[in-house]
A and B are shown apart, each in its own frame.
Chain A
Amino acid sequence: MNEPIATHQPSTTLMGGAELGLRKKPRLMARLLRQITKHPIGFAGMLIVLFVLLMAILAPIIAPYEPSAQGATRLLPTSAEHLMGTDELGRDVFSRIIFGARTSLYVGLLSVSLASVVGITIGVLAGFIGGTFDNTIMRVVDIIFAFPTLVLAIVIAGLLGPSLTNAMIAIAIVFSPSFARVARGSVLTVKNEVYLEAAHVVGGRSAHIIWRHILPNVMPPLVVLATLSLSLAILAEASLSFLGLGTQPPDPAWGLMLSQGRKFMERSPGLAIFPGLAIMITVLAFNFLGDGLRDALDPRLRL
């Protein structure tokens, strides 16, 4: 059931020329962009993702205060000076939420990139080479995949020692098996297509064939997987930081803010509400976007 159904584009792939291969990447992105604007939920997701991204990039400009400045009175309620009040150290919660977007997106993007590069390399090689290599490597991948993701991430991050980088590594490790599986599955479905045979016949080197002819065709399901993984990675980072295994104080991270604010929430409920809201909205946006992309690419993809 988890085996993906690759999207076929016979009209473009049959010829398999290098010129066509070159144009395929921008074409996929353009197609996705066009489709997503017609999908209200996906489009809303894209807008929120862009908004959070802008917030992260422009954080020093938009944030009214330094995220770690302890200037104000502690545990102030919401006011015009402090839109979301202040925390137990007198820091402006609104500014910390804005800077927290940086942490979330940074960890999310980096860990998913790492997971996808490692996973796709393993999966494509396993599918392309086949035989014993495929069997051995996929057996290991399957066993890692059989672990509950967050459990494994918590153990790895915990034993590596609590830090942002280690949390990122842990998240990347636990997410790479799904990329490997999806990539391998997609390679297997295109492996016996005529255009690949043709590429072999005209004497294409393996590396060239993988790069030019296989990768572009296994990309669609991987794009969806990456988007959905981003939401899971952001959630995982928040969970690890909440447990004290990710971002360390005084750095602003939503999960950490929530776990620290919890102790004071009876006096200042905002400390427990705003960081969670930020996590939820960001994760929701990526889920919306992933949903839209999936419907645009192939509604039968059950990722």
Chain B
Amino acid sequence: MFKFILRRLLILIPTLIGMSLIIFVMLRLLPGDIVDAMVGLDPTITEEAKYDLRTSFGLNDPWPIQYIKWLGEILTGDLGTSFRSREPITDQLLRALPITVELAALAILMSIPVAIPLGILSAVRQNSQIDFWARTIGLIGLSVPSFWLATLFLLFTSLVFRWVPPVIWINPLADPIGNLQQMFFPALALAVQLMAVEMRMMRASMLEVLRQDYIRTARAKGVTEQTMLYRHALKNAFIPVITIIGIQMGVLMGGSIIIEQIFGLPGIGWYLLQGIFNRDYPIVQITTLFLALIFVFVNLLVDMAYAFLDPRIRYA
């Protein structure tokens, strides 16, 4: 198991370097420049002044030097300052990270208790009424845009309860209840699609497992239907569901950008959008990398869970 984890971590390194390279090159190939955006309408600023400004940002260095500097910053943990606000990026990022992580974790926690039992039920009673409705609702859940759901939640809470989300983020350590109140609807908006995906995958993989020989053997030797399901089928049926949760993390990271915007949560997605609108390269660079990192990291955890559940993978 240890060797497996080590191998997976080593494979991660080229992926991360590749990702950082793609982000870096992409930001420099795409049009738009922070200095032009900053001086914008001010005609009094001369070309020399702009040049000096670019030099102070390090934008006149050759790309390879800029890239190596950036990597060095990441490795030392000092990410420099924002071009726009001149605030240290590391501090802002560390403040934003827990919000996005909490949002994603809550969404996953909310989706599982609904999706898994429904998926199992749908598979065990294949082609029944329950199955038909579960599948149809699953497809609907897959198609509801999370930002629309979020909007509807806000409409509902403001019309019925006269509740509007607080303007500032509430720290869960200071006020756990207030924090949960604030995070409930944003997380639910993200959880619905996740539920649909997990439910569909649970159903599909359960159906596949139930057709296996060893299940027939278990039935033949007289194991009760309950034991057969929980002891024999479930563990194997879970593996693809865990994988799909990992894959869905990508969707979740994208969705969280919009949801954070709607609910005014200063998470990484919110920070990224600020960076995009301000053409603040360092911020866009690092937040994109961080969202991708969360995605890659969760998938690493998924691989480990996978190996834990299925010993064949460890030795493959």
- Of all chain A residues, which has the CB nearest B158? A266
- Is B127 interfacial (CB-CB < 8 Å)? no
Q: A151-B291, A159-B32, A258-B148 are in contact. Are A284 and B140 (CB under 8 A)?
A: yes
Give B256-275 interface residues, CB cut-off 8 Å to A: 257-258, 261, 269, 272-273
- Is B145 interfacial (CB-CB < 8 Å)? yes
B142 and A287: CB pair below 8 A?
yes
| Cα–Cα distance between A262 and B296 once the two chains are bound (Å) | 34
| Cα–Cα distance between A142 and B22 once the two chains are bound (Å) | 12
- Is B31 interfacial (CB-CB < 8 Å)? yes
- Is A209 interfacial (CB-CB < 8 Å)? no
- Of all chain A residues, which has the CB nearest B30? A159
Q: A150-B255, A150-B257, A156-B26 are in contact. Are A266 and B250 (CB under 8 A)?
A: no
Of A142, A245, A272, which contacts B155 at CB under 8 A?
Answer: A272
- Is A207 interfacial (CB-CB < 8 Å)? no
Of B240, B243, B255, B288, which contacts A155 at CB under 8 A?
Answer: B288
| Cα–Cα distance between A143 and B20 once the two chains are bound (Å) | 10
B258 and A273: CB pair below 8 A?
no
- Is B253 interfacial (CB-CB < 8 Å)? yes
User: Could you give 7 example pairs across A and B, Cβ below 8 Å?
Assistant: A140-B18, A143-B22, A147-B22, A154-B254, A160-B30, A242-B147, A245-B276
> Which residues from B are CB-within-8-Å of A154?
254, 257, 272-273, 276
- Is A15 interfacial (CB-CB < 8 Å)? no
Q: A41-B136, A148-B295, A272-B152 are in contact. Are A158 and B254 (CB under 8 A)?
A: no
> Which residues from B are CB-within-8-Å of A155?
23, 26, 272, 276, 284, 288
- Is A231 interfacial (CB-CB < 8 Å)? yes
Which of A85-93, A180-188, A194-202, A275-283 contacts the other chain?
A: A275-283
Interface residues in A, total, Cβ within 8 A? 47
A151 and B143: CB pair below 8 A?
no
Name A's B-contacting residues (CB within 8 A): 1, 41, 139-140, 142-144, 146-156, 158-161, 231, 235, 238-239, 242-243, 245, 255, 258, 262, 265-266, 269, 272-273, 275-276, 279-280, 283-284, 287-288, 291, 302
Q: A243-B261, A269-B159 are in contact. Are A146 and B143 (CB under 8 A)?
A: no
> Which residues from A are CB-within-8-Å of B140?
280, 284
- Is B227 interfacial (CB-CB < 8 Å)? no
A147 and B148: CB pair below 8 A?
no
Closest 7 CB pairs of A and B: A150-B254, A276-B148, A158-B276, A148-B250, A284-B143, A143-B18, A159-B30
> Which residues from B are CB-within-8-Å of A265?
151, 154-155
- Is B109 interfacial (CB-CB < 8 Å)? no
B258 and A148: CB pair below 8 A?
no
- Of all chain A residues, which has the CB nearest B252? A148
- Is B128 interfacial (CB-CB < 8 Å)? no
A143 and B204: CB pair below 8 A?
no
> Which residues from A are CB-within-8-Å of B31?
159-161
> Which residues from A are CB-within-8-Å of B136?
41
A146 and B148: CB pair below 8 A?
no
Q: A147-B295, A288-B139 are in contact. Are A279 and B19 (CB under 8 A)?
A: no
B276 and A276: CB pair below 8 A?
no
Q: A272-B155, A287-B143, A291-B139 are in contact. Are A151 and B257 (CB under 8 A)?
A: yes
> Which residues from B are CB-within-8-Å of A151?
250, 253-254, 257, 269, 272, 288, 291-292
B73-84 interface code vs A (CB 8 A; 1 in, 0 out): 000000000000
| Cα–Cα distance between A262 and B145 once the two chains are bound (Å) | 15
B291 and A148: CB pair below 8 A?
yes
Of B27, B148, B251, B254, which contacts A159 at CB under 8 A?
Answer: B27
> Which residues from B are CB-within-8-Å of A269?
155, 159
A158 and B18: CB pair below 8 A?
no
B30-50 interface code vs A (CB 8 A; 1 in, 0 out): 111000000000000000000
B195-218 interface code vs A (CB 8 A; 1 in, 0 out): 000000000100000000000000
Of A143, A160, A242, which contacts B15 at CB under 8 A?
Answer: A143
- Is B315 interfacial (CB-CB < 8 Å)? no
B276 and A149: CB pair below 8 A?
no
A158 and B277: CB pair below 8 A?
yes
Give B133-161 interface residues, CB cut-off 8 Å to A: 135-136, 139-140, 142-145, 147-148, 151-152, 154-155, 158-159
A98 CB to nearest chain B CB (Å): 19
A123 CB to nearest chain B CB (Å): 19
| Cα–Cα distance between A280 and B252 once the two chains are bound (Å) | 18
| Cα–Cα distance between A235 and B143 once the two chains are bound (Å) | 8
- Is B249 interfacial (CB-CB < 8 Å)? yes
> Which residues from A are CB-within-8-Å of B272?
151, 154-155
Interface centre among B144, B147, B250 (most CB of A within 10 A): B147
Given contacts A155-B272, A283-B143, 9 further A-B contacts (CB under 8 A): A41-B135, A41-B136, A143-B22, A149-B250, A154-B273, A155-B288, A266-B155, A280-B144, A284-B143
Of A149, A242, A275, which contacts B258 at CB under 8 A?
Answer: A242
- Of all chain B residues, which has the CB nearest A160? B30
